[in-house]
Structure 1
Amino acid sequence: MKKNLLIILLVGLGITALLYSLPKGNVAGKTQNTPSGGANRDAGGEKTEKVAEKEEHAAPLTPAQLKEISALKSAFAAAKTDASQVKALENLMRAFMNASHYDSAAVFAANYADQHPSLTNVLRAGQLYFEAQTYALNAQKGGKMGEKARIYFSKALAIDPNNLLVKSNMAMTYVDTPTPMKGITLLREVIEQEPTFVPALFNLGILSIKSNQFGKGQERFTQILKLEPNNHKAALNLGFCLAQLDKKEEAQKVLKRVLEQSKDAEELKAAKELLAEMQEH
């Protein structure tokens, strides 16, 4: 299966939506990602740029992207007020993310969070490193990004220990480490506290897929769709599990429903590729 298709399946609930809205206490009972947001002032922009430039990426920045990011770096360094710092930092991170350079965005966010360790700032850094782990080119880089994500997620939980979304995402940073049970334990703690918390259910479903327990994965994604009938990423994963269980007619029905209902280009592409793979086997 293609790596880009796997990423679509493994990324659950629109992670990037976390990055630009302020946290509002405990997110228990919510199924959308709602941490992170504003910032104040960065004292280490030059150091951050040098570190960010050393990161490896699937594709280098184009001349146009380099020009845009250079201008945004200058704007960030020149910003004087809190409000202008917020806008400049978010614009710079968004430009890196649009270019799929999540690790570079994370470096700037982390440097800022180190200077100003509020919940908002450490949560943003952790989430960006989590995205960088998801899109890492190899296991070594993914492990490095996951380790950094845990550092900032731990800081966020020290401030807001009942943040179920942070626990759910932090759990996934342990998956490819020597101690994956730490992640499973975290997810079980979340489910014990909130049995219908969709991000935790989704992640448990992903772990089932990664361990080839497709029956358990089917159960998790079916449960999510009962809670959120329009969760098309859960439907994609359900279709994948059903196909692996040789329940092809059921899988086709689920995937065709995604084609009919989803308006997301990546979801539609994933559904088509899964259906095509089923026809080949």
Structure 2
Amino acid sequence: MQPNILGVQKSQILLVGAAATLLVVLVAFGRTVPHSDKKAMPTAAHMHDGQEGKPIAFDELLASAKQKIPADKLVAITALENKTVRGDVKTQQIDAYKQLYASWDSLNQLPIAAYYLGESAKLENSEKSLTFAANLFLEHLEHAEDPAIAKWESSQAISLLGQAIELNPKNDSLKIKQALLYMNTGEPMVGVQKLRDVVAANPDNAEAQITLANLAIQSNQFDKAIERMESFTQKHPDEAKAVFVLAEAYRGKGDIKKAVELLEHCKTLLNDPSLKAEIDNYIKSIK
């Protein structure tokens, strides 16, 4: 099977960019390699790097959305809201929340729709439903331009993922996703520690190891990144993304010859001609 140099989920890719912590090799689908000046490509998330300020209150978000919808829709939504309050059976509440999700989704109010699906998932308390709801927030984060809304969405997703992790503590993918969300909400060290916990329990987790190496590169700790990736690639020599990141660490350190050598090796691990061409162009740009 071909190694996947872009093997990070799209939602996590955005979060990496939003936290301004990782290289573009992990934040772009359209471009595989970082620019030679090491600046990340702009994304919507970069407009609110660091997630400064407070998250919007859901009541405020809801009130604003209600001002934009037709009167007949508002009446129907209000009736459903009353069901969530008055329902004395959990299944009734779950059903009402799902109907609210569908109503707001049909109105293209995605953050509010995700909130109600999240409330339903919390009551259902299944890993699948909690993860699905969290992913809805992550999908909208890719397009969120308001920092207050983005921070609120991140916090909602963190909570949902936390509940899912409690149900399945061995799911490292959820832990990594949550770690990146913490970086997006201005708590990078919380995210880093969660990544370290994953690596401590499972040193072979490529995603966590590569993410930590990229964090080291971004803070100019090239030797740490090299040490981590050298150790990892010794055990996993066919992991193209790890080889690529190791090359970038050497480039950052100033060892262009070694970086080019590793990039050439990375090409041999790939079958996609377009990816190979991207790496060729990148090699030319750093020589």
The two structures share one fold, judged by TM-score above 0.5: yes
- Pick the aligned partner of 1:191 from 199, 204, 207: 199
Q: TM-score, normalised by structure 1?
A: 0.57
Higher relative contact order (CA 8 A, sep 6+): 2
Query: Given the two structures, how large is their TM-score scaled by the length of structure 2?
Result: 0.56
- The answer to whether the 8 A contact 1:110-1:122 is kept is yes
What do the CA deviations read for 1:182-216 (whole angstroms, capped 9, x no partner)?
A: 11221222223223332221221122123222221
The aligned counterpart of 1:178 is 186
Does 1:225 find its partner at 2:233? yes
Partner of 1:50: 107
Supply the distance in 2 between the matched residues of 1:225 and 1:205 (Cα, whole angstroms). 12
1:249 corresponding residue in structure 2:
257
Structure 1 equivalent of residue 161 of structure 2? 153
User: CA–CA distance in 2 between the matches of 1:208 and 1:181?
Assistant: 13
Given that 1:232 and 1:267 are in contact with CA atoms closer than 8 Å, whether structure 2 keeps it comes out as: no
- What's the offset of the Cα at 1:167? 1.6
Give the drift of 1:131.
6.0
After superposition, residues 71-90 of structure 1 pair within 5 angstroms as: none
Alignment partners' CA distance in 2, 1:110 and 1:146: 13
| Distance in 1 of aligned mates of 2:133 and 2:153 | 11
CA distance in 1, matches of 2:251, 2:146: 27
The answer to whether the 8 A contact 1:221-1:238 is kept is: yes
C-alpha change, 1:272 and 1:230, in structure 2 (3 Å) is same
Give the superposed CA RMSD.
Answer: 3.7
The residue type equivalent to 2:156 in the other structure is K
Given that 1:218 and 1:242 are in contact with CA atoms closer than 8 Å, whether structure 2 keeps it comes out as: yes
Gaps of 5+ in 1: 13-40, 56-103
Residue 248 (structure 1) shift: 0.8
TM-aligned CA distance change 1:112 to 1:234, over 3 Å: farther
Secondary structure (helix, strand or coil) at the match of 1:166 reads: helix
Map of 2:177 onto structure 1: 169
Structure 2: tracts of 5 or more residues without a match: 1-16, 30-94
Instruction: Point out the more displaced range, 44-53 or 166-175.
Output: 44-53
Structure 2: how far apart are the matches of 1:250 and 1:142?
A: 40
How far apart are the structure 1 equivalents of 2:192 and 2:240?
24
CA drift at 1:146: 3.1
- Partners in 2 of 1:183 and 1:148 — Cα distance? 16
For 1:118, the equivalent position in structure 2 comes to 126
The equivalent residue for 2:52 is none
1:251 positional shift: 0.8
Aligned length: 199
Cα deviations by residue, 1:127-180 (Å, 9 ceiling, x for unpaired): 4544665x5676937645433331221121121233222222211222243322
Alignment of 1:216 with 2:233, yes or no, is no
Aligned residue identity for 1:197: N
Match for 1:261 among 257, 269, 277?
Answer: 269
Kept after mapping to 2: 8 A contact 1:126/1:148: yes
Q: Which amino acid aligns with 1:49?
A: S
